[in-house]
A and B are shown apart, each in its own frame.
Chain A
């Protein structure tokens, strides 16, 4: 099991760099299809925090912990201290029900659809979103299952 911890400020520039960095690191472990889902979920979750959690506090800190296990990768995302709770499981719109010409409103639905397990709750004085991804099983033909 390998755990890595990262901390970024509450800005789109910093979270985008972190997403790019973590996605590149985890790609081999997850396989390309799952790695895409990992990158997308991480991008959506962190963007939501920057845009909605504490938009007036750009110095607030976001913590991200990834844990690479035998069969899964877990990513835990901690809002800046003092952020109100927002459980995506209670607010996500099924992508099937999003107006195809809507410019917003897909982020939470993407997280719910693309992560294998979504958990949310308090951890000390922080809100914690945990997303789990099962590692792809590669067949002898080299295809992901």
Chain B
């Protein structure tokens, strides 16, 4: 489901690979990102540019990924549509995740902080 691309220095950009991240596919998303983390990826950006809708199950999966990384690394998000941005705001997730307008800004910021 997910697709990922590694940028130098060791920043992994993940696309959820679905237009809607909901209860139907949230567990698969979390499991596949967890596999990347278990494989050594710790600087992650989830790019939502192709995701039009996110419900509480999808958001819960994203929080689960954040907890999986813990203090070992960093998780940012980018490319939120208006609806996804509204979901983040309602659930106060804009206080939890670093949010970037696009993936390039997220990669640049993460690279500079390393």
B-binding residues in A (CB < 8 A): 12-13, 16, 19-20, 23, 32-33, 36, 39-40, 43-44, 47, 50-51, 95-96, 98, 100-104, 106-107, 110, 113-114
Is the Cβ of B63 less than 8 Å from the Cβ of A103?
yes
Within 8 A of A (CB), among B44-99: 53, 55-57, 59-61, 63-64, 66-67, 82-83, 86-87, 90-93, 95-96
A-chain residues with CB within 8 Å of residue B82 when the two chains form the complex? 32, 36
**Given pairs A13-B24, A39-B83, A50-B23, 5 additional interface contacts (CB within 8 A):** A12-B24, A36-B87, A51-B23, A101-B63, A110-B56
Closest to A46 in B: B23
Contact for B20 among A16, A36, A51, CB less than 8 A: A16
A-binding residues in B (CB < 8 A): 20, 22-24, 53, 55-57, 59-61, 63-64, 66-67, 82-83, 86-87, 90-93, 95-96
In the docked arrangement, what's the CA distance between A142 and B57, Å?
A: 33
Q: How many A-B contacts if CB must be within 8 Å? A: 70
Interface of A is mostly: helix
In the docked arrangement, what's the CA distance between A12 and B24, Å?
A: 6
Is the Cβ of A113 less than 8 Å from the Cβ of B22?
no
Is the Cβ of A20 less than 8 Å from the Cβ of B20?
yes
